[in-house]
Structure 1
Amino acid sequence: MEDQNQTSFTFMIDNLSDKRIESPKFLNGSYEWVVDVYSKEEDHKLNVYHFLMVANPESLRPGFVIRVSFFFVMLNQSGKELYRTKEMCKLFCDKVCDEAKGWGCYESLPLEFETNKIILKLEIVKVVEVVDWNEMIEFNGFQIHYSQIEPVNSLFLDHRGFTHKFRLKNELLKTTYMNVLLALVETLNKPQHSLTETELSNARSDLVELTEAGFKLNWLKTMLDEVSFDGNKGNFADHGSQVEQHIKEKVEAARDWLEGAIHSWKGHLGFVHLRNEKID
């Protein structure tokens, strides 16, 4: 389902110093939306954060993805444009909105605007509802399948900044690296007892390759180190048991041999009638 009509929504903000401001709900396509705004003083500037959100995330149909293209325009109370954000293309679905309630960005204003009335305008360029999970989509700079939205979104939410030093531009290579990363995460989340030494060896190689490409994956290194250490402890324990059993068998064999040798010695000396004592 596609809605080609451009939708504009405008609302007045009386005071940016308020902790959080939420717009009235408005309808676009089959869903109600809201704009969430808050500001924060940082480095002697007023950073204004604005997010487009689904008003009722429970209304998102399972298995459907909504792709929304939109941008924000900030105006002063006289209608003069203060800034215009870049157009964003973001995904809304039940998998993503369980964790990320909305998508947006921030722009900086002089501190004097903190108590001024300003106008925020949202321009929704296009809303497309997608059901083909094999289709590719750009997500935070990576081309991924819709079916990968949930694990990739979790990576960016739980480990912010892990791609800051990743500088590759080739889209195919970027997709390949992301697939390798997702496979590595899946491997390390397996039950520890099910991991083979081959899987651990491949995981170490993949981690080195991803790190050298610019990914910051300290948490995965910790996971891999813990799995490898626990696995080695198990190997050491097994090896220790084997050594202990081997020594026990050798001692038993030596004891049997010694008892036999003593019995033979007694026979040679004519003491075979003497009781054969068991050696402890």
Structure 2
Amino acid sequence: MDVNGFQVLPSQVESVRLIFKRHPDIAVEFRAKNQHLRNACMDFLLSLIETMCQSLEDLSNEDLVEADIALTYLKDAGFKVDWLEKKLDIVKDKKEKEQSSLARLQEMEDSLLKLKQHCSDLDALVEKEHEELSDTRTPMSFDDVV
């Protein structure tokens, strides 16, 4: 189906229409006249957007580097994608925060594990001390004395 001069699959029509609705000047400077190249670039744009919509857990740092490369390619092809660049920066910032948070969380879990072990060790010492105190307090029997 044709959407603003781009041949797209029926499953892509709504997405492409929404892109053009929100960013009507996206393809004003797009230079490719060959329909196959036009389609390939639109597929590339849609794939980049899909990548950015993945959960942070599924996105690797390498994926984000490749997304940067893809964005540069789209800009070089003539797409006006400043809005997408800002969104990619947000995703990269979130990924960085996620990684920092994961590192802090791991440190806290390690500390908590050590504290739990320390508490367990102290519980055992307290129990042993109670037993020794109980033995100490036990009065001697007549047989013990005689």
Q: TM-score range by the shorter chain?
A: 0.5 to 0.7
Distance 2:53 2:83 in 1: 12
- Per the alignment, residue 141 of structure 2 pairs with none
Runs of 4+ in 1 over 6 A off after TM superposition: none
Structure 1 residue 206 corresponds to structure 2 residue 76? no
Per-residue CA deviations over 1:234-254 (Å, capped at 9, x if unaligned) read 2223345566859xx8xxxxx
In structure 1, which of residues 138, 156, 159 is the aligned counterpart of residue 23 of structure 2?
159
Which residue is equivalent to 1:139?
3
TM-score (norm 1): 0.36
Amino acid at match of 1:230: K
Aligned residue identity for 1:183: S
What is aligned with 1:196? Answer: 60
Match for residue 121 of structure 2? none
Q: Which amino acid aligns with 1:193?
A: E
Secondary structure of residue in 1 paired with 2:8:
strand
RMSD (CA atoms): 2.2
The DSSP-based 3-state class of the residue aligned with 1:192 is coil
Show CA shifts across 1:26-83 (max 9, x none): xxxxxxxxxxxxxxxxxxxxxxxxxxxxxxxxxxxxxxxxxxxxxxxxxxxxxxxxxx
Aligned to 1:167, the other structure's residue is in SS state coil
Which structure has more relative contact order (CA 8 Å, sep 6+)? It is: 2
Contiguous gaps of at least 5 residues in structure 2: 115-146
Distance 1:243 1:148, change over 3 A: closer
The question of 1:234 aligning with 2:101 is answered no
Distance 2:57 2:101 in 1: 14
Query: Deviation at 1:224?
Result: 0.9
| Offset of residue 198 of structure 1 | 3.0
Give the deviation of 1:188 after TM superposition.
Answer: 1.4
Q: Which has the higher strand share?
A: 1
SS of the counterpart of 2:2?
Answer: strand
Aligned residue number for residue 225 of structure 1? 89
In 2: Cα distance, 1:192 partner to 1:243 partner: 21
CA distance 1:141–1:198, shift in 2 (3 Å): same
Deviation at 1:209, TM superposition (A): 0.6
Distance in 2 between residues matched to 1:192 and 1:204, nearest whole Å: 16
Per-residue CA shift, 1:81-116, capped at 9, x if unaligned?
A: xxxxxxxxxxxxxxxxxxxxxxxxxxxxxxxxxxxx
The count of residues paired between Structure 1 and Structure 2 equals 111
Which is worse superposed, 208-217 or 139-148? 139-148
